[in-house]
Homo-oligomer: A and B are copies of this chain.
Amino acid sequence: MSTIPSQPITQTRESTPGILDRAIAEWRTALGQDAVDTSEPALTRAGTCTFAIRRTVPVILRPSTRAQVQHLMRIASHYGVPVYPIGGGKNWGYGSGVPSASGCALIDLSRMNQIVEFDEELAYVTVEPGVTQRQLMDFLAARQSNLWMDSTGASPECSLIGNTLERGFGHTPYSDHFGHCANLEVVLPSGECLQTGFGRIPGASTAPVYKYGVGPYIDGLFTQSNLGIVTRMTIWLMPAPEYMQAFFFRCDEEDGLSYLVDALRPLRLDGTLKSAVHIGNGYKVLSGLRQYPWELTGGKTPLMPEQLQQLSKSMNFGYWNGSGALYGTRAQVAEARRLLKKALKGNVTRVQFLDDRLLRIASRFAKPLGWLTGWDLSKTLELVKPLYGLLKGEPTAEPIKSAFWRMRTPGKADADPDTEGCGLLWCSHTAPIRGEDARIMMEITERVTLAHGFEPIVSITLLTERTLCSVVSISYDRSIEGEDKRALDCYRQLMDTLLAAGYPPYRLGTQAGFRVPGEEGFRNLLQTIKDRIDPKNVLAPGHYLR
């Protein structure tokens, strides 16, 4: 069953020039000159991401207030000019900030970056879409808050609201971002504004703390969709636990994944493991440790499993490499650790624990680190520290270096993969937490990626109590002739094959086209709603819905 179009949809919604000019003129009046950008370099940048979908962006709008967003949407709807909103534009691997259709005015919400409410006692923060992961981290640090945020590995400059609306995930017990938000303020395509949950009841003290409100619970309508622009959201924060202990394990057998997944399921299900556990294959670890080993392959790609094995031996990482953390009081962590060790026994080559104290020591004495992880000494700390931070919700720019895997220039944490020519596509599919399902997914992934000339760089996450997610990075050098096309072909075949095997994606990128796979009833209902509230289809046309 293939439900994904065989070619990426190059949606085009070019407006007739006269109409667009009039809309732009009105936007200038409404937002001010400096909030309407038609400069060529900015427009080119706005249409560029880490793969071969390039969209013409006629204008960038930078509203500063919700009223301006309402105003600009009224203008867009009046003229029928399509628009595409972004928070930070850091949706890497899924299309970054590139609009879903050519001809869309880009609404860059980064100026709306106020943290409008903060409650230490009830542990939440209310933010605008321009608030980034780094900004919230700094905000909490400045207040010496005892609260942790949850962070994705994407980028410190990633928009909190943007990631939540794409239903992204992080690494702490609050990893389900959409599961830990409430109280949305939404501007509809008409420019009308609404509040969800109890936010719609003036003076309701439970607006920021209770998700569902009374009556239909509608927040989910605005996730992975194009039905409204979220201009404010409450995000719940996690009280820092008394103690956190990270764990790292490795397993050197290919069929170990299946045992590991089955062994960890009961702990994820019963809440002993409160947060997502990540299991990376050797390719994943290698791409975090270094760039492509051109010297070993004689300049050829892809890196074959036998070659990887050579490197894993010399660099001392496993076929499967797991990480996660335990949170609670010292006694709670000790008990969780006991249960984890019991579950892993016989299924892993080694398991190591790491806490703040040990990390401090390790940082001071890099050498003793060998006994800690068994990994390559010089690189381990570099890899472990950001990962350890993520387990406490601290954003990091480190992981994006792996986007430079196949590049001939060295990766930098502050580099912009969109403009550096890095090729990166993420393909994120779900399976039940069952060893056999994990095994089949991996088998498909390895077969399809290697056949297309790419490495199966895979991180398997025990995302929820019952569901795992396999994130596959298709990583390449865009400057090499034909690679862009091969990568998209690989993406599409991987998507189709995994779907046909019963493993649907939890998230789609711009490359997937506008079709949400599946039967018609669901699509009809959503399209009915979309048609009614956005009759001219001006808001993010093709983003999950037509």
A203 touches B521 (CB 8 A): no
**Cα of A538 to Cα of B301 in the assembled complex, Å:** 62
Residue of B nearest to A506 (CB): B214
Q: Which of B335, B437, B545 contacts A205 (CB 8 A)?
A: B437
A121 touches B434 (CB 8 A): yes
- Chain B: minimal CB distance from A213 (Å): 8
Q: Which of B194, B202, B467 contacts A522 (CB 8 A)?
A: B194
Task: Bits for A116-156, please: 1 = Cβ < 8 Å to B, else 0.
Answer: 00000111100000000000000000000000000000000
Which residues from B are CB-within-8-Å of A464? 209-211
A173 at interface by CB-CB < 8 Å = yes
A350 at interface by CB-CB < 8 Å = no
Which residues from B are CB-within-8-Å of A499? 201
Q: Which of B198, B202, B222, B526 contacts A430 (CB 8 A)?
A: B198
Max chain B CB contacts within 10 Å: which of A271, A503, A528? A271
A366 at interface by CB-CB < 8 Å = no
Which residues from B are CB-within-8-Å of A122? 432-434, 466
Which residues from B are CB-within-8-Å of A216? 220-225, 227, 526, 544-545
Q: Which of B196, B334, B521 contacts A193 (CB 8 A)?
A: B521
Which residues from B are CB-within-8-Å of A526? 215-216, 218
Residue of B nearest to A217 (CB): B220
B506 touches A196 (CB 8 A): no
B223 touches A217 (CB 8 A): yes
**Cα of A546 to Cα of B493 in the assembled complex, Å:** 47
**Cα of A88 to Cα of B236 in the assembled complex, Å:** 36
- Chain B: minimal CB distance from A422 (Å): 26
A296 at interface by CB-CB < 8 Å = no
Which residues from B are CB-within-8-Å of A209? 432-433, 464, 466-467
Residue of B nearest to A224 (CB): B215
Task: Bits for A453-489, please: 1 = Cβ < 8 Å to B, else 0.
Answer: 0000000000111110000000000000000000000
Task: Classify the secondary structure of A's interface with B.
Answer: loop
Q: Which of A38-46, A105-113, A379-387, A512-520 contacts B (4 or more CB under 8 A)?
A: A512-520
B335 touches A206 (CB 8 A): no
B178 touches A236 (CB 8 A): no
B522 touches A195 (CB 8 A): yes
A419 at interface by CB-CB < 8 Å = no
A339 at interface by CB-CB < 8 Å = yes
A341 at interface by CB-CB < 8 Å = no
Q: Which of B205, B272, B522 contacts A432 (CB 8 A)?
A: B205
9 closest A-B pairs by beta carbon, nearest first, are: A194-B521, A217-B220, A200-B518, A215-B516, A209-B466, A205-B502, A216-B225, A331-B335, A201-B518
30 contacts between A and B (CB under 8 A): A3-B201, A121-B265, A122-B433, A192-B521, A195-B521, A200-B522, A203-B500, A204-B503, A204-B504, A205-B431, A212-B220, A212-B223, A213-B504, A214-B506, A215-B225, A215-B508, A215-B516, A215-B522, A216-B227, A216-B544, A218-B221, A218-B525, A221-B221, A271-B271, A271-B328, A331-B331, A331-B338, A335-B335, A529-B532, A532-B532
